[in-house]
Every structure is written in structure tokens, then in C-alpha cells.
Amino acid sequence: MDPKRPWDCADMSQVRSEIDRIDAQLVDLIAERFGYVDRAWQLKMNSTEGAVVPWRIQQVIDRVKAQATDKGLPPEMVEMVGAQWRNMIGWFVQYEEEKLRKAHEANAAKGSEPRGA
């Protein structure tokens, strides 16, 4: 079924249906993003870069806030988007740190600590 534009919705059931469709897409995109985060910690195993990369975190926050502004969202919503992204990134960073810690411990137990650890 083709999505409706907001102004094409004739009643609340159509509005709710479109919001549900968008929510499903958001979850799909977050799951896709998670796949890249899962790959990132694996690639970081052999580098000196850790899970926390402050310049990159700020770059991502600045970019999504600029996109929200460009889409015409109210300033309060732009700040909320930035805060939500920071929260999501915080969770992803904790996930990466835990995966890296466990992988380093497993490698140390085997006597083969990777480079950069």
C-alpha cells in the first residue's frame, strides 16, 4: 500500500496507520544501524581506536540536528532529535565497549592479545 501524505489522510485511522508504518521503518533502520555498529567493534579489535570516538559522536549529532533543521522541524524538536541520537549512540558505545572487552579477555586467555589492545 502506498503511503499517504499527511494532508491526504481523511480520518484518524489513516493517520495512525501512517504513523505505525513510519515507526516500523524507523525500527528497521535502527536495526540496520545496529548491524554496522556490530561490525565496527570487530574492526576495532585490530586498531588503537576504542568504542568512544568523541569527534565522531559530535559529528553525527551535528549532522542529524542539521538535517532536522533542514526538514523544518521546530527548534525544540531539533534539540530533542539531537538528545535522542546522543542517547542511542551512548547505548551503541556501551555495546561496543562490552564486546571489545570480552573479545580482548578471550584473546588474552588464549595468549594472543590483538594489536592495539
Residue 47 neighbours by CB under 8 Å, 6+ apart: 115, 116
- How many Å apart are CA 81 and CA 50, to the nearest integer? 25
Q: 1 pLDDT band (50/70/90 cuts)?
A: low
Specify whether the CB–CB gap between 80 and 65 falls below 8 A.
Answer: no
Residues 10-38 have pLDDT tens digits of: 999 999 999 999 999 999 999 999 999 99
- How many Å apart are CA 41 and CA 98, to the nearest integer? 9
Which single residue is written with the C-alpha cell 551512548? 90
Quote the pLDDT of residue 115. 55
Residues 38-72 have pLDDT tens digits of: 999 999 988 888 889 999 999 999 999 999 999 99
Going from the N-terminus, what domains does the chain have, and what CATH number goes with each? 12-110 (1.20.59.10)
Quote the pLDDT of residue 28. 98
Quote the pLDDT of residue 113. 54
pTM above 0.85, yes or no: no
